[in-house]
Amino acid sequence: MAKRGRPIGTGGSTHWSRNPANVAARYASVLIELWLADAPVVQVRALLRPLSEDPEHRTTIEECWKRRGTERRYIVPKAIKRDLCQLAIAYVMELHRQSQDAKDQIEGSLQRSVSAAEAELRDRGWTDREIGARFNKLSERARKRGKKDFRTPDVDKVFEIVTRHAPAGTLRRKAGGQVDDRELAYRQYDEDLRKAWREG
């Protein structure tokens, strides 16, 4: 018997307009993994390009990576994790702003097309009543889509989601957690690499 419910991978809980906190949490998780992996800050700025142009956000990015240091890290300090969540929220809001700009342009283009279609129907002898009946349903659907509320995600909610759900294959480790075989292998690889550079 097949399982009931939403199929895996449909992404219903992270739908752009229904749950922006989950969308922000996904971006925050990416930033956390990049921070733990010591990704070059220049790549992070490129990833967050719309934010990097804002001095305040650019400073936040620089500070988070400056405080990381050069040693291998397993845990993201709470203050930095919160800053990364704030950056993720700002990024989601910027994407939303861009989508709204595009939406306004698309709706303007559609409205011009509707006006042209109405004029053509009048030329063919249609009455205003007939034309209205033809286009009212489309207008009503567009109005309903436009009524969706988009609220700025709450940083505490995003922080909670990120803390509770780490992605598969995460570089994170809980405080006081045991070192597993993969971590020991990584340490050995890191040490061998450092030796190779010194000897070269």
User: pLDDT tens across 89-117, in order?
Assistant: 999 999 888 877 777 777 777 777 777 88
Instruction: With 0.95 as the threshold, say if the pTM is over it.
Output: no
Inter-residue contact 51 to 90 (CB < 8 Å): yes
pLDDT in tens, 141-186: 555 555 557 788 999 999 999 998 888 778 887 655 555 666 666 6
Q: Which class for 101: exposed (0-12), middle (13-18), buried (19 or more C-beta within 10 A)? A: exposed
Tokens of residue 92, six digits: 């989601």
- What pLDDT was estimated at residue 6? 42
Q: For residue 3, is pLDDT > 70?
A: no
Q: What is the mean pLDDT of residues 191-199?
A: 64
Is 61 buried (19+), middle (13-18) or exposed (0-12) by CB count in 10 A?
buried
Question: What are the structure tokens assigned to 3, written together?
Answer: 């399982």
pLDDT at 19 > cutoff 70:
yes
